[in-house]
Structure 1
């Protein structure tokens, strides 16, 4: 694979927990400005891939590069310094902190660059106007959909080259999922590089350029979202169970 025009390149990735591999020979890429989804059932290894990218999992084999930088053995705090940022499953907001405090903590590496931090904060408020109205409220007192907005905004505040989202629609009401989908589409239109882990096929197909399906820790199918007809969707649904 050639890293030149890629936000992310993964080659032959294998790893897991203790002595057991969860993912096996995973290889794929995300081009700069592209949104890519990883679909699969629970336990397929989707989150393990994200953890490996962030340096949170010491994989046994393979190579990972972000924007041409080899991060295969890089520590999580170095990866998080502008290379990649993740919205984890369950959001994990800072309890007892306001919306704005949560957002600013996401951009703590840029705290000395006040102009840049202010621009990033305004970008978040432009994407999620409700957060500007609620900027002084306790973030964990908001609705599930609003908390997810805070989590995405916190990720944006570090201005990463690659955005990782782990099951962002999980537990959200239909209206909140619609708002989430619209926000992700806007980020894609802004030429942001996105890797989305999801179980909702409809959301992934609407937001992403390409789809990878993971089953049993291996990539078993892939394709362009705009070329995936009823047969392709049926195949994905079969893997998802």
Structure 2
């Protein structure tokens, strides 16, 4: 695994971030980056603090110390509703689709801040349908009636509708069948090919290495290793698996 890798232009920069719940810190002095158009994985065992990092980025967790920048601007003091309006989009663990709503309604709810711009809304909808043809085919169906893999496509599409500078995905493969994971991996590779900036929290090392340019390993709330996905061979995979337990 390599030393810290710098870049001239970053979509996300986190420096010295610490935070948690009540009086207790869960993450300690976190520092990492996601370059413009780069896909980065944040790996670690359950309880390592991965979701806490995502919550901090989204403004759902008070920051005790440190900076969180999107395209050079500190967002740590912004309310979540402002962060979600084109700065950062989140696909949460478990998808959390709106029940009783159609696929298309779920998508449109993701783009509420552009709803008055009909042309832009249609453009964003088409980008989702181009990535996930099955979502267009089932656009009139109730979203929660779809299969797990199809629901995950809707959840990613809903996030895409906010047209965020940074896309966060929290354990997107969780609970999916192997074929659905293959489809998801291909979709994320296509997103990466569109020059989107992605931060992927994932337990599946194989999937993360197929999708991402670089990986960070989080253990007990601290970054303990990092490296380029293309440079991680069998020894590196074994090391990551050891951290994952």
In the alignment, is residue 87 of structure 1 matched against residue 91 of structure 2? yes
Partners in 2 of 1:111 and 1:15 — Cα distance? Answer: 34
**Residue 150 of structure 1 aligns to a residue in which SS?**
helix
Partners in 2 of 1:57 and 1:160 — Cα distance? Answer: 20
Residue 152 of structure 1 corresponds to which residue in structure 2? 156
Given that 1:37 and 1:211 are in contact with CA atoms closer than 8 Å, whether structure 2 keeps it comes out as yes
Residue 116 of structure 1 corresponds to which residue in structure 2? 120
In the alignment, is residue 141 of structure 1 matched against residue 145 of structure 2? yes
Q: Give the alignment's TM-score, normalised by structure 2.
A: 0.97
Residue 222 of structure 2 corresponds to which residue in structure 1? 218
Shift in Å, 1:70: 0.8
Partners in 1 of 2:231 and 2:135 — Cα distance? Answer: 36
Partners in 1 of 2:105 and 2:120 — Cα distance? Answer: 16
Residue 202 of structure 2 corresponds to which residue in structure 1? 198
Partners in 1 of 2:148 and 2:96 — Cα distance? Answer: 12
Equivalent residue pairs, number: 241
Partners in 2 of 1:233 and 1:2 — Cα distance? Answer: 23
Q: Which runs of 4+ in 1 moved over 2 A?
A: 1-4
Shift in Å, 1:160: 0.3
Q: How does 1:28-177 map to 2 (within 5 A)?
A: 28-177=32-181
Partners in 1 of 2:31 and 2:186 — Cα distance? Answer: 29
**Residue 60 of structure 1 aligns to a residue in which SS?**
strand
**Residue 42 of structure 1 aligns to a residue in which SS?**
coil
Shift in Å, 1:3: 8.5
Unaligned runs of 5+ in 1: none
Q: Give the alignment's TM-score, normalised by structure 1.
A: 0.98
Given that 1:13 and 1:25 are in contact with CA atoms closer than 8 Å, whether structure 2 keeps it comes out as yes
Partners in 1 of 2:6 and 2:81 — Cα distance? Answer: 26
Partners in 2 of 1:3 and 1:99 — Cα distance? Answer: 38
Shift in Å, 1:59: 1.7
Partners in 2 of 1:2 and 1:215 — Cα distance? Answer: 22
Partners in 2 of 1:205 and 1:186 — Cα distance? Answer: 15
